[in-house]
Structure formats: C-alpha cells, structure tokens
Amino acid sequence: MTKPPKTAQTAGGETHQSAEDLGVDALTTNHGVPISDNQNSLKSGTRGPTLLEDFVLREKIFHFDHERIPERIVHARGSGAHGVFEATDDISDLSKAAVFTKGEKTEVFVRFSTVAGGAGSVDTPRDVRGFAVKFYTREGNWDLVGNNIPVFFIQDALKFPDLVHAVKMEADRGYPQAGSAHDTFWDWASLMPETTHMLMWAMSDRTLPRSFRTMEGFGVHTFKLVNAAGKASFVKFHWKPRLGLQSTIWDEALKLQAADNDYHRRDLFEAIDTGDYPQWDLGIQVFDEAFANAQPYDVLDATKLIPEDDVPVRLIGTLTLNRNVDNFFAETEQVAFLPSNIPPGIDFSNDPLLQGRLFSYLDTQNSRLGTTNFHQIPINAPRCPFGNFQRDGKMQTKVPKGRANYEPNSLADHGEDGGPRESPAIGFSTVNAATGTDESGDKLRVRSESFSDHYSQARLFYRSQTEAEQAHIASSFVFELSKVGLLEQVPGRMVSNLLNVDEDLAKRVAAGLNIPLPMKAPAAKEPIDMEPSDALSIHKNMKATLEGRAVGVLITDGTDADELAAIVEKVRKAKGKAVIVAPKVGGAKLSDGTQQKADGQLAGTPSQIFDAVGIILSEDGCAAMLKEGAAVEFVMNAFGHLKAIGANDAAQPLLDKAGVVPDDGVTGLDSKFVKAAAQRFYAREPSVRTLA
C-alpha cells in the first residue's frame, strides 16, 4: 500500500502527522492523498445528490470500470505458476544457449490453458491444452509456447483465423462457450484434410488430461539448436511429466464440469501450495538435414511428428513449479508469451506456421496489454540487464537518463553516456544453415508438395493406441459429429476422410452415427503404413503410482475408526492424498466416539474428482446412504469411471445398489486396494457403456 509522506514541517513551522506516525497503513488515492472515509460518498446534505467534486469516489469507480483487459483471442482460460528449470546434461556440442549449461538454474513462468473457451469457461472441455514456458535466461527471455499435443491442425499460418473462428462459439448464437462439438468446427475440419492427424489426437483422451501435472508438452514446430561454432541441428522439444500420463474419460470430464469448473486450476494451485511440486523433464529430439530429407514427411510441416522410435527423446533438464502466483491478474493474465523470444543458441526453422506466429504474438500483446511497453510489466521483464534506444510510448515506466536515444552516437567522446552497443561476439545471429527447403527467393503462394500427405501419421497414431483408446477415439468422433445439427453433409464427409486413416475406425464411426459408409475421400497423397509407436499412447505411458493421485474416502457416523486410520495411513505412505468425505462437513462420529472432520461434504464432493474411492461405512450408516442419491452416485460413478473401489463389508449393500460388479478394481480395504487405486480398469468399460 502506498504510504503518505512522513511528518513534515510547513512553511509556518507546524508539524503534520502522517499515517505512518499514527502506526497505520493509510488508504490513499492513486496519487497518494490519504482517504478519511471509504464508506460514504460526498453528498450535498445527508440525503442529497452525490457531488462531482468527490475525487475519491470518481477515481475509485473510474479505475474499477477499467479493471478488465481484452482476453486472449485463443487460450483465454489459463493457470500459471513460477518455477525453475535446471539443465542436467551437457549439450554444448549442440547449443551454446546459456539456459542449457549443465547445472544452470533458470527462473521460469509457466501458463497452462484451454484453447477455445473464454477466460471464465470451464477447465475440462474436450480441448487442446496450451503449455507455455517463459525461461528468464541470462541471455534474455526464451518463450517455448507449446501445446500438450505434438502436432497442429494446420500447416500454414494463413489458415489460423479460419480455424479459430470455426472452433470458437458460433458467430450468430454465441455458443458453445468451449469445446469443438458443433456445426462450424466440423464443417471446416471436414473440408480441411490436413487437420486429420491433429483430429485423431483431439478425439483421443489427450484432450481430457486428469491434471496439468499429468500431461506432456511439445514445442510442436521443428526448431534449431546452434553451437558455438555456428553449427545448426534440427530439434523438437518435449516435456515429459514425472507423474506419467493420465487422462480422464469423457463421461467423467463432463461430470467434472458440473462438480468443479476450476478442477485443473485448483489441482495445480493446491499441489504447489502443499509443496507437492509438479515436475517435467525437458527432452529433445535432435536430427540433421540428412535425416530430415530421408523421411516420408516434411519436418517443417507442423501436422507431422517425428516418431520417438526413429529419434529417441534425450532428457536434458528438469522443470519444477514451486511457487504460486501472488496475483492472478498481474502475473497469469498479464504474462505475454512470444515465440519470437529466443536466445543465442536456439533458432527458428522455416515451418510456415511458426513463421506466422513470430508476428502474431507480438502484435496481440499490444491490443491485449495496451502498449508496446508490455515487456516492462514485471512478469514479462527479462531478469537479465536489458537496454536499447527504443523510447517513450504508453505506460513507459523507465526514466532513461541523458541524450543517448540514437545509435551510432559519439556522445561518449564528449564524456556523456553513449548507451548500449551491439555485440557481434555474443549477440543473436540467425543461423544460415540450409533447411532442405526451396529457398530460391522466388515469390510463391504455394504449399510444398512435401506437405501433401495428410493421413499416414493419423493412421500411425490410431494404430499405436490400445484397444480401449481406439474405442475412445471412435466414440469421441461419434459424440462430436452427433452434435452437428443443421449441416447433414458434414458427418459423412468426415467419415469419408477417416476412411483414409483406418477402415475399421471409419466403419465404427459410421455405425455409431447410424449413417451409411460413404466413399473414401480422394487423398492428395496415398497414405503409407508406419511402424506403430508406444510413445503415442497414454495407456502405455501411465505410472502405477499413487503419487499425485487422490483417494476419496466416504464415511458416516459409526465408521470404524481403526479401518479409517489404516487406509488413510496406507494412502499417505504410498504418497497419495486421502480426502475424507461425509454427509456433513462437520464430520462423522466414529466407532470409538471421536468426531472425524470431513474434507468435503458428500453432496459437493462427488467421486469424479478422485482417482479411486474407499467406502467405509457402519451398518446404520450404509442403510442411511442407500437413501442418499449422492452416495449411490458416488459409488456408481467411481465404478463407471473405471476407478478402484475399496469397501468394507458393511458397505456392500451400497455397492450393490450402485450396480458394482466385482472385478480386479473392486477390493476390500487391504493393500490390494492401494495398488488398485493407482490404476484404471479399462477392461470394465464395455460392461458400463456402449462404445463405438
């Protein structure tokens, strides 16, 4: 809070007391004038009109009226956190960037986001997640502005506004607020075969992450690393979550929207707040031009990935998020990521999507943050010294001294400060290595022939999934295309594209929609079969650990105190979080007469927010729960969402009423439960819902 000046002597010699002298933090106007009354506006008489003279009122309302800034055109809803990146491997042979010096610790700020929804939308729609990292390196900021999917919908930046218009709420009706299950998205996507690969990812459980902490991140584009000798290599960046991959399933994601709109934001904040710091390893796939030229796809095409089996991911550092923001607006809202922020040692490739981004982000910050001086906002300012001759502009907060605002200058010859100078030895210089593309310089509005295969990698993705994952993909296409209302031509057109990916998938989707199988769409280039890759599956990259997972334990009056204590201890020992749920938040009276407080009230703490549930009831408690819809749903949804259920004998009638059928995931409260709680039981799924 701004403090008014200290005690001062007036010309007449009397002393004025400041608020500080009175031992209070004075509330002042923005210009430092102490405010005596923050409850009442200035009126003419006790019941008269408010006076224009009231500068306290006017300033307060004026500022309030302008508290909001335009939300991001995409990725409006996000959650951010501070952290540190530590380089753990020596890659000086590949890059001279200081951020990669083994042992170097660099401060970072990370913002995760959904793409289509507005800032106030929900956390769990089916949507791509942004994974943007700002490294405040000692050679300037490096912003790796990626997503949780390694490829993108389009190949050329010119199509981005069309993609975004099609996926965001429809222009006339203003809905849906988030998510792609509507006419205009599928109309556009089905007319754009290059979207097919990313659509496979979007329709998979990748777009339903369990937590930001359990998703991968990708730089998407091919970048370059440049070493001290100026030698360039191609590189793809990956973030690998230490907790392994985990996703929810669609019914659960839908129910999470009802249970907690802030599910991911809360999860991230609470994890950091309790010292359970999320971590990712930074991985690189490095390759040279000879490799690039030998692939059946173009490494400059952002709709293509490089299979990890072809170029293994090498881990070179660790990201730890260890501090929540102090203020959401000042930090998470005002952070401005720029893919064009890049330090010496890293460089761009000619990916036409990346090239377009280099302009867009700088431009958008001006309309969002209102000034070209947005880099001076604390969350955006480099941590290393920085300076140049750019001057003035709105919201200029720096007060440069002297006359040096141009370059070259000879002011130093005159004993004045001449200002900073360019430094060829350490400064960023664009690497001139060939990139395998036509760089003849002819002006051509074309798409390279090498970008024309839209289906091989979509097929690769589908065929790399487990059976359960394939069923989820087919079912998502059915769900989304079933939401296409007025444009009857769209679902068939989409299925005709899918016939190029995999005939079985196309048939499943057509059957799920109950439409005839259309003719295969002509492909610009016939797809080829690529070797399936385990890295593309979530299920093959999950970790059977309770770390980062939460177990909801339902109790009632009469619950056995020892049984409860034992299960809480087991979960805690396995590094999980036990959350006690009871009909009343004040808790329940346990068998030993003690009052056990609850972490959540049953009606507001449904099982979809947990990874597994324990049900520990007394006989009377169970009888009461049989008449409690929220208790029946607690169990029924845990079962339907393929989670482990550990229950004591007295809870059996509730399990029966909820339709629980014994399987490996339904256990007693022994250590079998703790093991089961770290998994999902996908084999159960065909018995609880019809999948395409």
CB of 450 to ligand HDE, least distance (A): 19
Give yes or no for residue 150 binding ligand HDE (CB under 6 A): no
CA distances from 586 to 234, 556, 635 (A): 59, 11, 22
Coil, helix or strand at residue 453: coil
Q: What is d(CA 50, CA 58) in angstroms, rounded to the nearest whole number?
A: 11
Region 608-647 residues binding ligand HDE, contact defined as CB under 6 A: none
472 is annotated as an active-site residue: no
Contact characters 304-343, ligand HDE, x per CB under 6 A: --------------------------------xx------
CB of 268 to ligand HDE, least distance (A): 13
Which of 360, 372, 541, 591 is the binder for ligand HDE (CB under 6 A)?
A: 360
Q: What is d(CA 654, CA 625) in angstroms, rounded to the nearest whole number?
A: 7
CB of 73 to ligand HDE, least distance (A): 5
First to last CA, the chain: 59
Q: Which is nearer to ligand HDE, 67 or 363 (CB)?
A: 363
Q: Which is nearer to ligand HDE, 74 or 166 (CB)?
A: 74
Region 535-594 residues binding ligand HDE, contact defined as CB under 6 A: none
CB of 143 to ligand HDE, least distance (A): 9
Which of 56, 157, 581, 615 is the binder for ligand HDE (CB under 6 A)?
A: 157
Q: Residue 21's Cα: distance from chain center in Å?
A: 48
DSSP 470-534: HHHHHHHHHHHHHT--S-THHHHHHHHHHTTT-HHHHHHHHHHHT----PPPPPSS--------G
Q: Is the peptide bond before 176 cis (omega within 30 degrees of 0)?
A: yes
CB of 218 to ligand HDE, least distance (A): 7
Region 483-502 residues binding ligand HDE, contact defined as CB under 6 A: none
Region 263-302 residues binding ligand HDE, contact defined as CB under 6 A: 302
CB of 70 to ligand HDE, least distance (A): 10
Residue ranges in 370-465 assigned as alpha helix (H): 456-463
Residue 331 has what DSSP assignment? Answer: I
DSSP 568-632: HHHHHHTT-EEEEEESSTT-EE-TTSPEEPPSEEGGG--GGGSSEEEEE--HHHHHHHTT-HHHH
Measured in degrees and rounded to the nearest 5, phi and psi for residue 257 equal: -60, -35
Q: What is d(CA 478, CA 275) in angstroms, rounded to the nearest whole number?
A: 41
Give yes or no for residue 130 binding ligand HDE (CB under 6 A): yes
Which of 79, 106, 121, 147 is the binder for ligand HDE (CB under 6 A)?
A: 147
For CA atoms 491, 494, 496, 499, the dihedral sign is: negative
Which of 113, 246, 475, 637 is the binder for ligand HDE (CB under 6 A)?
A: 113
CB of 483 to ligand HDE, least distance (A): 25
Which of 56, 94, 116, 132 is the binder for ligand HDE (CB under 6 A)?
A: 132
Which of 82, 242, 357, 643 is the binder for ligand HDE (CB under 6 A)?
A: 357
Region 212-241 residues binding ligand HDE, contact defined as CB under 6 A: 220
What tokens appear for 582 in the block?
Answer: 């009871």
Q: Which is nearer to ligand HDE, 81 or 615 (CB)?
A: 81
Measured in degrees and rounded to the nearest 5, phi and psi for residue 554 equal: -85, 125
In the block, which residue shows the tokens 């339709």?
659
Q: Count interface residues toward ligand HDE (CB under 6 A).
A: 25
75 is annotated as an active-site residue: yes
Q: Which is nearer to ligand HDE, 149 or 249 (CB)?
A: 149
Q: Which is nearer to ligand HDE, 341 or 475 (CB)?
A: 341
Q: Are 308 and 283 in contact (CB under 8 A)?
A: no
Coil, helix or strand at residue 443: coil
Please choose, out of 140-148, 168-176, 225-233, 651-659, the segment that lies near ligand HDE by the rule CB under 6 A: 140-148
The type of residue at 647 is: A
CB of 535 to ligand HDE, least distance (A): 18
CB of 324 to ligand HDE, least distance (A): 16
What tokens appear for 362 in the block?
Answer: 């700088």
Please choose, out of 145-153, 200-208, 603-611, 647-655, the segment that lies near ligand HDE by the rule CB under 6 A: 145-153
Give yes or no for residue 75 binding ligand HDE (CB under 6 A): yes
Coil, helix or strand at residue 654: helix
Among residues 31, 38, 141, 147, the one annotated as catalytic is: 147
Which of 33, 57, 73, 259 is the binder for ligand HDE (CB under 6 A)?
A: 73
Which of 140, 146, 244, 343 is the binder for ligand HDE (CB under 6 A)?
A: 146
Coil, helix or strand at residue 240: strand
Give yes or no for residue 356 binding ligand HDE (CB under 6 A): yes
Torsion of CA 605, 607, 608, 610, to 10 degrees: 90
Q: Which is nearer to ligand HDE, 351 or 480 (CB)?
A: 351
Among residues 75, 82, 182, 641, the one annotated as catalytic is: 75
What tokens appear for 13 in the block?
Answer: 């010699």
Q: Which is nearer to ligand HDE, 328 or 479 (CB)?
A: 328
Q: Is the peptide bond before 5 cis (omega within 30 degrees of 0)?
A: no
CB of 565 to ligand HDE, least distance (A): 43
Give yes or no for residue 512 binding ligand HDE (CB under 6 A): no
Which of 111, 240, 539, 549 is the binder for ligand HDE (CB under 6 A)?
A: 111
Which of 55, 269, 361, 479 is the binder for ligand HDE (CB under 6 A)?
A: 361
Q: Which is nearer to ligand HDE, 134 or 472 (CB)?
A: 134
Q: In 3D, which of 488, 348, 503, 343 has the Cα closest to residue 426?
A: 343
Provide the β-strand partners of residue 8.
16
Q: What is d(CA 12, CA 23) in angstroms, rounded to the nearest whole number?
A: 25
Region 47-66 residues binding ligand HDE, contact defined as CB under 6 A: none
For CA atoms 328, 331, 332, 336, the dihedral sign is: positive
Provide the β-strand partners of residue 147.
130, 218
CB of 496 to ligand HDE, least distance (A): 26
Q: Are 379 and 109 in contact (CB under 8 A)?
A: yes
Catalytic residues: 75, 147
* Residue numbers at the binding site for ligand HDE (CB under 6 A): 72-75, 78, 111, 113, 130, 132, 145-147, 152, 157, 160, 220, 302, 336-337, 353, 356-357, 360-361, 364
